[in-house]
């Protein structure tokens, strides 16, 4: 009884941690991409560099621990869901989870690269835009994996379209025959 309670508490905590860390990384990326450039545009170049440098330092203090915790919580989630991913009809969720994981690791790599001590990359805002796009696609893949895993498998192609080519089961579900 206690063992089962502890296991459930651990997995709920890992999911919560994954969501919080994702929010911090995505929010920090949005802040760096949209707020900082507008906030410093009227400043002299040396003042811009000072503000961006300080913001980068703070971003580093958020991104590095978040990246570490995202890897741990993501691994716990994959471990917990592995049986569901391995069986039909949820094998589609496995591909979405793999894409989510790979894109997430790439996005974390870019975020960490942008905070490494020393001189920032030549086009940090461009890298942030690329990173934001990758993060959003990764979140979409996680949503697809969860949707499929929760018992809503994506319909087979033959179930999606009726003889007129319109979407049927994919959105509305089976309909009564027309009279």
Q: What is the pLDDT of residues 66-108, one digit of tens each?
A: 999 999 999 988 888 887 777 766 777 888 889 999 999 999 9
Q: Which pLDDT tens digit goes with each residue over 108-159?
A: 998 888 888 676 667 777 888 899 999 999 999 999 888 887 776 555 554 4
Domain presence at residue 97: yes
Which tokens in the block code for residue 36? 């900082």
Secondary structure element (H or E) that encloses residue 70, with its range = helix 45-85
Question: What's the structural domain count of the chain?
Answer: 1
pLDDT band at 172 (very low <50, low <70, confident <90, very high): very low
Instruction: Give tens-digit pLDDT for 22-70.
Output: 999 999 888 888 888 888 889 898 888 888 888 888 888 999 999 999 9
* 131: number of Cβ within 10 Å: 24
Closest to 48 measured CA to CA, from 126, 127, 107, 120 = 120
| 167 falls within a domain | no
Asked if residue 159 lies in contact with residue 170, where contact means CB atoms within 8 angstroms, the answer is yes
Judge whether 177 lies within some domain. Answer: no
Containing structural domain, residue 72: 2-154
Q: Is residue 82 part of a domain?
A: yes
Dihedral angle of Cα 144, 12, 62, 59, to the nearest 10 degrees? 20
Query: Is residue 94 assigned to a domain?
Result: yes
Residue 112 lies in a domain: yes
Handedness of CA 157, 159, 160, 166 (dihedral sign): positive
The structure's pTM equals: 0.73
Task: Report if residue 165 sits inside a domain.
Answer: no
Q: How far apart are CA 172 and CA 170, in angstroms?
A: 6
Strand (E) or helix (H) holding 148: helix 124-149
């Amino acid at each position: 009884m206690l063992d089962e309670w502890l296991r459930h508490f651990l997995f709920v905590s890992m999911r919560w941690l994954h969501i919080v860390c994702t929010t911090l990384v995505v929010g920090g990326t949005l802040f760096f991409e949209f707020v900082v450039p507008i906030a410093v545009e009227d400043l002299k170049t040396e003042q811009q560099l000072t503000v961006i440098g300080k913001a980068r330092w703070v971003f580093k203090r958020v991104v590095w621990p978040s990246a570490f915790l995202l890897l741990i919580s993501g691994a716990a989630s994959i471990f917990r869901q592995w049986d569901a991913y391995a069986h039909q009809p949820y094998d589609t969720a496995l591909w979405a989870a793999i894409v989510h994981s790979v894109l997430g690791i790439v996005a974390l790599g870019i975020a960490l690269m942008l905070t490494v001590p020393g001189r920032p990359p030549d086009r940090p805002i461009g890298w942030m835009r690329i990173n934001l796009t990758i993060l959003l696609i990764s979140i979409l893949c996680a949503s697809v994996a969860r949707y499929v895993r929760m018992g809503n498998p994506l319909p087979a192609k033959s179930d999606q379209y009726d003889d007129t080519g319109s979407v049927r089961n994919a959105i509305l579900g089976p309909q009564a025959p027309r009279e």
